[in-house]
Amino acid sequence: MPRKAEDLEAPWIRDELAAWLAKLGDQAWQEENWTQPPAAAAEYTTLDDALNFFDDYAVLDDPPAHLGWFLLAEEEAKTIENFRDALDRAISTQPRSDADLIHSEVWAPVVAAARRALAALGRNRDAA
């Protein structure tokens, strides 16, 4: 029987993951928030905040192991693995800043993978 969202052990992690995937899948948002942070931003975030979330909750570590925890299906786990791989390749370039990274050629696959993962979670950028 397919898993349902109400059966997940940690649905709040799924919600937070979707929120970060929406931001990482939206280069316009990144431009607005990571290249020149707004002076009066009530909630300023950086790529490090996303990486901290991924590390703190180990959401990118062995995604298939998270089925039933915050992932519902193998397709979700696969897209999270693909996103993780793209993100790992991008951050391994050791950029000087978030702005340098999002303007580099290695960033486009991260944005695309984040969008695919968000779609697999049944979310869209506006609803995340």
Domain range for 99 is 10-36+45-120
Total number of domains in the chain = 1
pLDDT band at 105 (very low <50, low <70, confident <90, very high): very high
86 in any annotated domain: yes
4 in any annotated domain: no
126 in any annotated domain: no
Phi, psi (degrees; rounded to nearest 5) at 33: -105, -25
pLDDT band at 125 (very low <50, low <70, confident <90, very high): low
Q: What is the pLDDT of residue 4?
A: 77
Q: What is the pLDDT of residue 64?
A: 96
What distance lies between CA 115 and its chain's CA centroid? 9
Rounded CA-CA distance 14/31 in Å is 25
CB 68 within 8 A of CB 3: yes
1 in any annotated domain: no
